[in-house]
Amino acid sequence: MRVYTGEHIRNVAVVGHGASGKTTLVDALAFVAGSSKRHGSVKDGSALTDYTPDEIERQYSISLALAYAEWMETKINLIDAPGYLDFIGDAIAAIYAADAALLVVSGTAGVEVGTEHVWEHAERRGIPRLFFVSLMDKEHADFEKVYQDIKAKVTGKVLPIEIPVGSGPAFHGIVNLLTRKCQVYRKGTKTGEYDEQDVPPELKDKFDRYEQELIETIATTDDALLERYLGGDEIAPAELTAAMHLGVARGEIFPLLCGAGDLTYGTRALLTAIVELVPSPAEREPVDAQTWGEASAVQLEFKDSGPLVAQVFKTVSEPHVGDVTFFRVYSGKVANGAEVFNAPRGVTEKLNHLSVAQGKERVEVPELHAGDIGVVAKLRDTHTNDTLSTSNAPIVLHKIPFPDPVITLSVQVKQRGEEDKLSMGLQRLHEEDPTFHHEYNAELAQTLMRGRGERHLEIIVGRLARKFGVHALLGKPKIAYRETIKGKAEGQGKHKKQTGGRGQYGDCWIRVAPLARGSGFVFEDQIVGGVIPRQYIPAVEKGVVEALRRGPVAGYPMVDFKVELFDGSYHDVDSNEMSFKMAGILAFRNVTPNARPVLLEPIVEVEAWTPDEYLGAVMGDLSSRRAQILGTEQDGRMTKIRAHVPEAELDRYATQLHSITHGRGTYRQKFHTYQEVPPEAAQKVIEARAKEKEEEKAG
């Protein structure tokens, strides 16, 4: 394929709710443009950008994928993003790699939760946006209803630039409001061909209404056009298109188009609209960057003449290939075989077989210019969110703000001996997907996986088996309980052992007392008169520290108390450090049961966002989880609830919140403090802990 410069490139993230027709539309756009040889289908696993085994099996997008369409001497880079919220990280990556977003909205379902989420991320990013009402050939498709839905739920700046001719199975054309012509599709054609006609008489009233809205809206973005419009002058289609291009770039207008990807209807008009209305990379404002190792800020212009700066927005691992890196060139140009510098990691990489992606296929190119998107395989030490530049101009871009995980599950291998493979596989999958995290918690003796939802983590486990041969099971994570004391007590610990030769003797008296929550553990030496020699006092503390790891209530670590060592005795011959360490352990075990020990549980601070209509249900659910509601406040179109909730009560909360709010609710959490567990709940924890210990002994 030919090489394109920035002014002849358009980068578009194709986003929207799951099952809204995004992948089918991307497939149709590439096919109609002649850039893809076949028109595939999600249903039979032949779709251009849904090519992984997971996606073919489930028939929905899981990872972002790249395609391109060459149209009107322009290369349109299409970034097909998954629609379900478990995979929102890839949708965000697509939005940050693109210069515009095409929001695909189902003609039958209208605005859904995924539509609202990707709109908010695109709004935060500040990129131009277009809407496309898809599935217009399906039963109950309703363009007018979806248009009003977008106006009510997303933005009042949406502006139709075409209207459908017919709907459902009767959908067979569009009226272009800019050209004032009707495109009637030829039945049986596969590449969206049409015959152009005048506007049908039965659509004249609707056309006049929409055209007036179009011209008035565009005219208000340009003072000269507005004056001409008010003066009764006719504004030519080319003038309207030019004015709309500027309005789209400034975020004043969000054009609305329609069509049917399966039939390729509306695809030619959409390709044209992308070329004519979406700003090229060359038109973008400079982006902020930073010289690596310095505080100096850099403003990068999208020019070939600038320093090479490219950002990795996605990494995938493919069988027989290894890691494949997707990157966006922001400044400069890069040639096939060039050496680039990854400043934060301090490594040089060679870009062999520089390519552009058409689904799973790669087309090798001699070079890429500023603004373009490319792929390269087998980079050794470069991962998602890294910046590639040169060693003489090491520049770093701001990272893509991937969202934090919202759900935690434990994972364990089915077969012993696969633990090392599990750890390696999880690390590789994190490099592919920054919204997935993992860690081994030594205290809980569990490997924990964190992700955006249960479906997300289930797919991670499936990839572990397929890519790394590790078969694993998901489970409920343990809770890191603690114990403390509420009262004071004192007592003795005496270790005395005679074995015929030199014996062992250590004797100490300690007092224990509670401290404020969060104080940890304090050891105080109050020995006077040398009743315990100085060299043995640290040994007593060591014994106490070892003993506090298993509290008297259920064997959990103890916190927030102090120990005073105030008396004891020793033997000139038999005393040693080990004897006094044992004495410290015995003293602690003897005293703490008398100091009113209690069980503590971790409390997290939760911020949950919900539409107002679900506020009562969400608050009721939190209350059933022993939450302390701290308050609510309006946050944009959502209500934010702040609450303190026991961590043990948040098991799979993300799934429940999703169910209550029909997918529109989100939340985040952070550790707050430890609090005493209520007696009834504490008894259940103690019984479960005892059962766990019995099973460990039996195993």
pLDDT at residue 293 in the model: 85
SS3 614: helix
pLDDT at residue 699 in the model: 62
**Rounded Cα gap, residues 557 and 555, in angstroms:** 7
**Rounded Cα gap, residues 426 and 409, in angstroms:** 13
The dihedrals phi and psi of 75, each to the nearest 5 degrees, come to -95, 120
Greatest alpha-carbon span in the chain? 117
Q: What is the pTM of this model?
A: 0.91
**Rounded Cα gap, residues 325 and 355, in angstroms:** 10
**Rounded Cα gap, residues 207 and 107, in angstroms:** 19
Domains of the chain: 9-283 (3.40.50.300), 287-397 (2.40.30.10), 407-470 (3.30.70.870), 482-595 (3.30.230.10), 600-681 (3.30.70.240)
Mutual orientation of helices 267-277 and 22-32 as an angle, nearest 10°?
90
Please list the ranges in the chain whose pLDDT falls under 50: none
Which ranges of 160-266 does DSSP label H, i.e. alpha helix? 204-219, 223-230, 237-249
Q: Are 278 and 75 in contact (CB under 8 A)?
A: no
SS3 302: coil
Report CA dihedral (153, 154, 160, 161) to the nearest 10 degrees. -170
- Give the residue from 509, 483, 487 showing the smallest Cα distance to 564: 509
Q: Are 354 and 336 in contact (CB under 8 A)?
A: yes
Q: Are 468 and 428 in contact (CB under 8 A)?
A: yes
Work out the angle at residue 552's Cα, subtended by the Cα atoms of residues 551 and 553, and round it to the nearest 5 degrees: 95
Q: How far is CA 415 from its chain centroid?
A: 31
Q: Are 338 and 352 in contact (CB under 8 A)?
A: no
User: Residue 77's beta-bridge partner residues?
Assistant: 11, 68
Report CA Rg, the chain. 32
Question: At residue 74, what is the residue type?
Answer: T
Q: Are 560 and 676 in contact (CB under 8 A)?
A: no
Three-class DSSP labels, 158-199:
EEECEEEECCHHHCCEEEECCCCEEEEECCCCCCCCEEEECC
**Rounded Cα gap, residues 475 and 276, in angstroms:** 52
pLDDT at residue 474 in the model: 96
